[in-house]
Amino acid sequence: METISENACFGGTQGVYTHASEACACDMTFGLFQPAEARDGPVPLLWFLSGLTCTHENAMTKAGAQSWAAEQGIALVFPDTSPRGEGVASDDAYDLGQGAGFYVNATQDPWKPHFQMWDYVTEELPALLGENFALDMERQAITGHSMGGHGALTIAMSLPGRFRSVSAFAPIVHPTASDWGRKQFTAYLGEDEAAWAAHDATLLMRERGFDGPVLIDTGTNDQFIDLLKPESFAEAVSARRQQATLRLQPGYDHSYFFISTFMEEHVAFHADALYA
């Protein structure tokens, strides 16, 4: 692992690191904010999974999360959204290929050799973080935006006991019924739609739910709301009688202005679960 940068930030440290990933067969970069408390021992960890076209840097610099994480004594990790570099497959469209990994393990060429984002986020990167930083890996929570909200919800529901809480900002919650999902799942996972179900938050909520609190915010002026399908997830939550807070925020869109507005509440929501 190589340190790219480390900057003092709200009494702690905002770092950027790169490492050779076995899962993705390329170098991967991530950001990690460590609050001041990490100097004295392991602290809880909150994951932020970013959306389409983003790198590790977007949320790290635009979401305003560090100040609230510092207040709560929580670390923040910002993984990249896909493998990158020469020899890594991509596409001219913004919503497929590099910057659009969708947090799945691709089974189809040309994506299969590198696009193993599920294994990277759920296995390889957690192991690396636990070995190299003062993090309490028994106390984790997860959040994300758009494609990253999809990843946060599906990962949380698929790994019972791993995360104490899950939240999302404008998540893609029913990708098997959306153009933001069907296109990518066909490319990465193939034509068999049965293989897609494990990566659909609405279907996972209907099947198994989440063993903890859930918080989701979506803006009523989100320009992509028809692709996000918040009503589908709300119906699944209601049918399952799942503990969840689902909010439509009047006037807000899909941008980081929306995310930064509600970040304080999301961090506090996770802090309640992480310190319970």
Phi, psi for residue 169 in degrees, rounded to 5 = -110, 115
Check if 146 is active-site. yes
The residue whose two tokens read 């970013």 is 50
67 counts as catalytic: no
Q: How far is CA 164 from CA 11, 113, 142, in A?
A: 26, 32, 8
Distances (CA, A) of 207 to 104, 153, 222: 19, 13, 28
26-34/2-9 β-pairing: unpaired
The residue annotated as part of the active site, out of 21, 50, 82, 146, is 146
Question: Nearest Cα to 139, choosing from 234, 67, 38?
Answer: 38
Q: What is the spatial distance between Cα 141 and Cα 172, in angstroms, rounded to a whole number?
A: 19
Of 222, 232, 266, 270, the catalytic one is 222
Told to judge if 270 belongs to the known catalytic residues of this protein, a careful annotator would answer no
Say if residues 134 and 41 touch (Cβ distance below 8 Å).
Answer: yes
User: Of residues 114, 199, 254, 266, which has the active-site annotation?
Assistant: 254
Please give the Cα distance from 193 to 273 (Å, whole number): 35
Structure tokens at 255: 């941008």
**Catalytic residue positions?**
146, 222, 254
